[in-house]
Amino acid sequence: MVNPRDGVPTIHLHITVVDGQRHIWGRGNSATGPVYTNTDADMQKNRRVLFYPRLGKAKVMKKLNNWISREDEDGQIVWFLLNRPDKRNAFGDEVAEEFVEFIDGLKSNSKIRVLVISSALDEVFTAGADIKELMAIYEDEPYSAAFQMSKTVQTMFAKLENLPIPVISAVKGLCLTAGLEMSMCCDVIVAADNAKFGQIETKYGIIPGGGGTQRLTRLVGSLKARELIYTCDIIDAPEAQRIGLVNLVVPLSELEESVNALCRRIIKRPKLAITRAKELTGRAFYENPEGYGGENRGFGETFATGEPLERLSEFIKPSKGKKDN
């Protein structure tokens, strides 16, 4: 990308440290341009380097099997990125275990002021639950297995929601089912302009099991929540902002920079004031905790009918040009 003011090529560059080694990578045209790394000859050419996002000139990065964590130079902003490209970032047991381990570990780090949940992929935030693991429910008594799965996912997302620090969801690409349920646990949702949202479980004969029936209703109102859950409509980022599901929509190329700027604005405020504000606004949000128990039971009941097995099996069959309805 050439700066129009002086004609000098510009690279948006990331510098990270992985297992003690320095890694450099970047894009000539933000999210859509070619990728340059520290091994490319292009890096030796006359190019201006921009450190993007503006977290500082170095970040510590830790890679788990399904997640990548990185923090800014002073350790106050942490990004946690889902990275399971072969499964379109689908949630499974291992993803959940790593998620819980990471969230629990944040409690002992008093330096962290803001957590950002996002995806390492531009085209998908998460496609939702791992279909094969959902089908494995039928290897056991379906009602009990589905009830327990719903309970486990709700507990996992509650850990995120109950963190004393602000949590921002930075959504890009497809954000469905469990991904949307996770995002709705966050304090702020910032969406890239390519983001799409859907709570589409009823398409498979089941209901949202990770808090979707409760949080979606509270965020967008009962009428709109019912419409989205009943129809399985997938909405784009501007529509999500219009109905109150997301706070802000920005170009994909500006997502990280915009989120980091928001984090810096939050960090300027006293820590205790933010913690208490989060606690009290959370109390105002929740009035019927029994709704989550009802969701556990409904999730189990729908699986017990056996219909989800047929519908989920159809989903994973090779596509033969059948139009989705």
Q: How many domains is the chain built from?
A: 2
323 within domain boundaries = no
Q: Which two tokens stand for residue 224?
A: 């709109």
Cα torsion at 52, 53, 55, 57 (round to 10°)? Answer: -10
Q: For residue 97, count other CB atoms closer than 10 A to its CB.
A: 14
Report the distance separating Cα 323 and Cα 325, nearest Å.
6
Q: Does the annotation mark 201 as catalytic?
A: yes
User: Are 197 and 154 in contact, with CB atoms under 8 Å apart?
Assistant: no
- Annotation marks residue 181 as catalytic: yes
Is 229 inside a domain boundary?
Answer: yes
Clarify whether residues 67 and 47 are in a common domain.
Answer: no
Same domain, 110 and 37: no
Q: Quick check: is 278 in a domain?
A: yes
Note the Cα 125 to chain centre separation in Å. Answer: 5
> pLDDT tens per residue, the chain (325 residues)?
434 334 434 333 443 333 443 333 343 333 333 333 333 333 333 332 223 333 443 354 566 899 999 999 889 999 999 999 999 999 999 999 999 999 999 988 999 999 999 999 999 999 999 999 999 999 999 999 999 999 999 999 999 999 999 999 999 999 999 999 999 999 999 999 999 999 999 999 999 999 999 999 999 999 999 999 999 999 999 999 999 999 999 999 999 999 999 999 999 999 999 999 998 888 777 765 667 777 788 888 888 998 888 888 887 776 555 555 5
Residue 282: the pLDDT is 85
Residue 244's φ and ψ, nearest 5 degrees, are 90, 15
pTM score of the predicted model: 0.76
The per-residue pLDDT for 210 is 96
Contact 197, 234 (CB under 8 A): yes
The sign of the torsion formed by the CA atoms of 255, 225, 82, 131 equals negative
What pLDDT, on a 0 to 100 scale, did the predictor assign at position 2? 39
- 322 domain residue, yes or no: no
Same domain, 301 and 196: yes
Q: Which of 52, 78, 94 marks a domain boundary?
A: 52
Do 31 and 63 lie in a common domain?
no
Q: Is residue 3 part of a domain?
A: yes
Residues 45 and 73 in one domain: no
Active-site position among 71, 98, 139, 201:
201
CA–chain centroid gap for 57, Å, is 25
Same domain, yes or no, for 41 and 171?
A: no
Can you read off the two tokens belonging to residue 209? 């099991």
41 and 86 in a single domain? The answer is no
pLDDT value for 281: 86
Query: Tokens 């970047």 correspond to what residue?
Result: 26
What single-letter amino acid sits at 82?
Answer: L
**What span, in angstroms and rounded, lies between the C-alpha atoms of 208 and 295?**
8
151 found inside a domain: yes
Domain that holds residue 175: 59-316
pLDDT computed for residue 286 by the predictor: 73
- Has residue 325 been placed in a domain? no
Which two tokens mark 205? Answer: 């004969």
Check 161, 181, 257, 295 and give the catalytic one.
181
Phi and psi of 71, rounded to 5°? -135, 160
With residue 102 as reference, give the H or E element that holds it.
helix 93-106
39 part of a folded domain: yes
